[in-house]
Structure 1
Amino acid sequence: MPVLTPASPSARGPAPTLIKRTQATQLLERLRNDIVAGHMPPGERLIISALAESVGAGQTPIREALMRLVSEGLVTLEDQRGFSVAPVSRRELVDLTDTRAEIEALAMRSSIENGDDVWEGNLLGAYHRLSKAHKRAEDGHSINPDWEERHNHFHAMLVGACTNGVLLQLRAQLYDRADRYRKLSTRYLKAPRDDLGEHEALMNAALARDCAKAEELLKAHIRLTAQIILAEGTVQAP
């Protein structure tokens, strides 16, 4: 039976303070975080009554949250079977990577073109925080949650001055779907890679307002992650 983990800070950043979050929104964030983190594995059935009991919520907000996740591609809804965690596949990861690389690059270009000195300071600060964290957790087998939060924040700051709300919405959904593959992979953490160097080069190109260079680096960064996961062989066809 799926059980929601305690609520954790969203990788998408803080919610607007002027908007009162509904119970459905809070449940949505918890469900999304659990699926992306791999706590609810691909294909697991999501029984509304069981989820409602685990968090002491009504079935209506649970259903609303699950329907939102269906639209985001993290949950499936089938006749006779109900809701399930969306499956993973090599084909989806390839398609997801290609699409995300283009959308993320467009959002970053808008951010570079519109960013002011406040944006520059935020990006510098995000990189500085990332540089101070260790990627590997103390157990040696998992990603350090503190590094994870700082990594997500750095990428959010890259697109922080983007003025296209639709692009940002698409970018957030694709980021979560790609992040799930990364967290399901055991090889991602072990593969030799200059993580900090890649992020520093990205930051420098963005601050230099070199859109072409920044886009080239960002797409290579995203595709290298997918290549590492695909090489592991745990994500099966189709």
Structure 2
Amino acid sequence: MSTGEMFQRRTEFESESDGPRSLIESTYEQLSLDIIHGKYGPGDKLRLQPLSENYGVSVGTVRESLSLLVSDGLVLTQSQKGFRVAPMSLVDFEDLTKARVLLEASALRDSIVSGKDDWEGLVVQAYHQLSLAERRLEANPIAGFEIWEQRNQEFHDALVSASSSRWVQKFRVILYKQAERYRRLSTARRVSPGVLAHSEHEKIFELAIARDADAAVEALSFHIWSAVEFLKGRGLILESPDKES
């Protein structure tokens, strides 16, 4: 499930009778969304009892959910200090972008080489939906951001959907979530990177459909790095994280 889809389907949590695993998964998804969307800011302490009350689940369920988020890199834990939201910084964003480019490039190249007609059809459909969302975003960057974010992820997912590597797919999803958290910094200042991204998406799409793997990978890498330059150029992110208080 994409983060955009999860945002659209934010419903009440399953009851205790649905079992501990489903409760952990739903609580994990909701906490993940709330961190990515900025409800809990970088460095915020995540106290078990208040979270238990807020989400209507047991303390044990919250603890298990936070442990999953530690694996995703969205939450940190320290002995005797509990859980807190992972910090954000330009240094961290550049680091995760390097890793993301490596994974996305590998998956895109694999998809272009091995993708069949169904892959191509999926890419065409996703690009069309993204283009529509980008028009709405240009008209209203704030109101159109959520649907654009969803369509943006669907396009990126479609591009790499023919990649056969389970591990590449798994870790690129984790890094995409991290990158989305950084992209959302722009909406707090009422600007959006999506307004500037259409020409980049168009180029990636055309090269992927033309099966030009080298050029498509180069265009995708430039596109992913452009988000770093967008935030850096507008002073939307600290060079390094604030020291823990």
TM category (shorter chain) comes to 0.7 to 0.9
Give the whole-Å Cα distance in 1 for the aligned partners of 2:216 and 2:178.
23
Over the aligned positions, Cα root-mean-square deviation in angstroms equals 2.3
CA deviation after TM superposition for structure 1 residue 192, in Å: 9.3
1:63-89 per-residue CA deviation (whole Å, 9 max, x = no partner) reads: 111111111111000123210110011
Match of 1:102 in 2: 102
Percentage of matched positions with identical amino acids: 37
8 Å contact kept, 2:25–2:65: yes
8 Å contact kept, 2:97–2:224: yes
Give the whole-Å Cα distance in 1 for the aligned partners of 2:143 and 2:78.
33
Structure 1 residue ranges without an equivalent (≥5): 1-6, 12-19
TM-score (normalizing by structure 1): 0.86
CA deviation after TM superposition for structure 1 residue 8, in Å: 7.0
Give the whole-Å Cα distance in 2 for the aligned partners of 1:230 and 1:114.
36
1:178-232 per-residue CA deviation (whole Å, 9 max, x = no partner) reads: 1111101356835696422211111111111111011100000011111111122
Match of 1:159 in 2: 160
The reply on whether 1:39 has 2:39 as its aligned counterpart is: yes
1:10 pairs with one of 6, 12, 16 = 6
CA deviation after TM superposition for structure 1 residue 60, in Å: 1.6
- Cα gap change, 1:8 to 1:114, in 2 (>3 Å): closer
Give the whole-Å Cα distance in 1 for the aligned partners of 2:139 and 2:51.
29
After superposing the two structures, state which structure 1 stretch, 87-96 or 180-189, moved more: 180-189
The reply on whether 1:236 has 2:238 as its aligned counterpart is: yes
8 Å contact kept, 1:126–1:157: yes
Query: Size of the alignment, in residue pairs?
Result: 223
Match of 1:189 in 2: 191
TM-score (normalizing by structure 2): 0.83
Match of 2:179 in 1: 178
1:139-174 per-residue CA deviation (whole Å, 9 max, x = no partner) reads: x54652111111111111111111100000110011
Supply the AA of the counterpart residue of 2:55. V
- SS at 1:132's partner residue? helix
CA deviation after TM superposition for structure 1 residue 33, in Å: 1.2
Match of 1:73 in 2: 73
Match of 2:122 in 1: 122
- SS at 2:137's partner residue? coil
Moved over 6 A (4+): none
- Structure having the higher helix fraction is 2
CA deviation after TM superposition for structure 1 residue 51, in Å: 1.1
Give the whole-Å Cα distance in 2 for the aligned partners of 1:30 and 1:40.
12
